[in-house]
Structure 1
């Protein structure tokens, strides 16, 4: 038997010996996922639409991790950043178009605008929730263009 053939047999044997559970997804906890989704959507509406920067942030962890490069880490710096933003942009609103949860992650597809004449931005926000607190955030933001190569909306 050649060396390559021996390695192939050994690799196959090793893979077959691995427990099947290592490839299986863990069972979903839909009740917790839905609670996380409700927590995030309520926070998002109060914070970004009502501009309630103090009461709504009770669900943010003190050591909140932010992946948007323009927004600082931490609960207090996050609140300070957006309190200033809302003061300069009082018409800013974010409509949650759809949401989903999987495990400890919650996704929001959002149409954010800054006044009635603004076409706005399409945003996908991803939050990680741990023990009833929002602990981490990522986002992807795209400007809504005036013209599109198709007849589909971004929402």
Structure 2
């Protein structure tokens, strides 16, 4: 079976005002996710930013949080009551199409070394509809001189 090469000249790109280009949509999705993340995880305004940005159908892949907006709001409202000094600093943002990836330094208080977090969000029609994360504790010692950020 012959392998067919993709010819970029055969790709159609819509430039009509009602259909934003892929790069414009990607940038819009980045802004949505960053504003959501800073609102929830830096300002601790869980309900306000969840109402603004989480879709009616929200799929959660973190095993400690159930699907849906209400479970997200309940979980993190309680978390910030228990950890009022929690701080989350976005170190990197990478986006392509409907996916936005954040590399984050998360701490519970000023004495905490914290965790390196990679959060992946899927955005659909201006709303966050799906989330994955990978979380790794920052060790006291490292085999190299590089940081996790």
> Same fold, TM exceeding 0.5?
yes
Deviation of 1:20 (Å): 3.5
- Of residues 31, 41, 45, the one that matches 2:34 is 41
Deviation of 1:61 (Å): 0.8
**Match in the other structure for 2:47:** 54
- Of residues 72, 89, 93, the one that matches 2:87 is 93
Q: 2: CA distance between counterparts of 1:149 and 1:141?
A: 19
Please list every run of at least 4 consecutive aligned residues from structure 1 whose deviation after the TM superposition is greater than 4 angstroms: 24-28
**Match in the other structure for 1:7:** none
What secondary structure does 1:82 align onto?
Answer: helix
Q: Aligned ranges for residues 95-114 of structure 1 at < 5 Å?
A: 95-114=89-108
Aligned length: 140
What secondary structure does 2:148 align onto?
Answer: coil
Report which of the two has the higher share of helix: 1
Q: What are the ranges of 5 or more consecutive residues in structure 1 without an aligned counterpart? A: 1-10
Summarize deviations over 1:67-119 as a string: whole Å, max 9, x none: 01011110011101111111111111110001011010000000000110000
Give RMSD over aligned pairs: 2.0
**Match in the other structure for 1:8:** none
Summarize deviations over 1:14-61 as a string: whole Å, max 9, x none: x45xx746xx98867111101100110010001011110111112101
Distance 1:148 1:36, change over 3 A: same
Q: What are the ranges of 5 or more consecutive residues in structure 2 without an aligned counterpart? A: 14-20
Q: Aligned ranges for residues 73-152 of structure 1 at < 5 Å?
A: 73-152=67-146
Q: 1: CA distance between counterparts of 2:101 and 2:11?
A: 20
Greater Rg over alpha carbons, structure: 1
TM-score, normalising length: structure 1:
0.84
Q: 2: CA distance between counterparts of 1:25 and 1:67?
A: 34
**Match in the other structure for 1:6:** none
